[in-house]
Amino acid sequence: MEKTANKENTQKKSFFKGVKTEFSKIVWPDRETVGKETAAVLACSVALGLIIAILDLVIKFGLSFIL
């Protein structure tokens, strides 16, 4: 029973060491890049929202005209 507990502790420690090693390999973007990408996402979201709203109005108008 004690061997199993020691093996689990060793596995947990090596897992967290591996996680720490992988996190040190991450290249985090700088503040300017994050700002540009955020602006791009917001602009695309607004544009897509407007397109959907316009299509909704056109379809609503078309259905009310037909019915």
CA dist 62 and 55 (Å) reads 10
Q: What is the pLDDT of residue 7?
A: 65
pLDDT in tens, 34-64: 999 999 999 999 999 999 999 999 999 999 9
Which residues form the domain of 28?
2-66
Q: What is the pLDDT of residue 50?
A: 98
Length of the chain: 67
User: Per the structure, how many domains does the chain have?
Assistant: 1
Q: What is the pLDDT of residue 3?
A: 59
Q: What is the pLDDT of residue 46?
A: 98
Global pTM exceeds 0.75: no
Burial call 39-62: b when 16+ CB within 10 Å, e when fewer? eeeeeeeeeeeeeeeeeeeeeeee
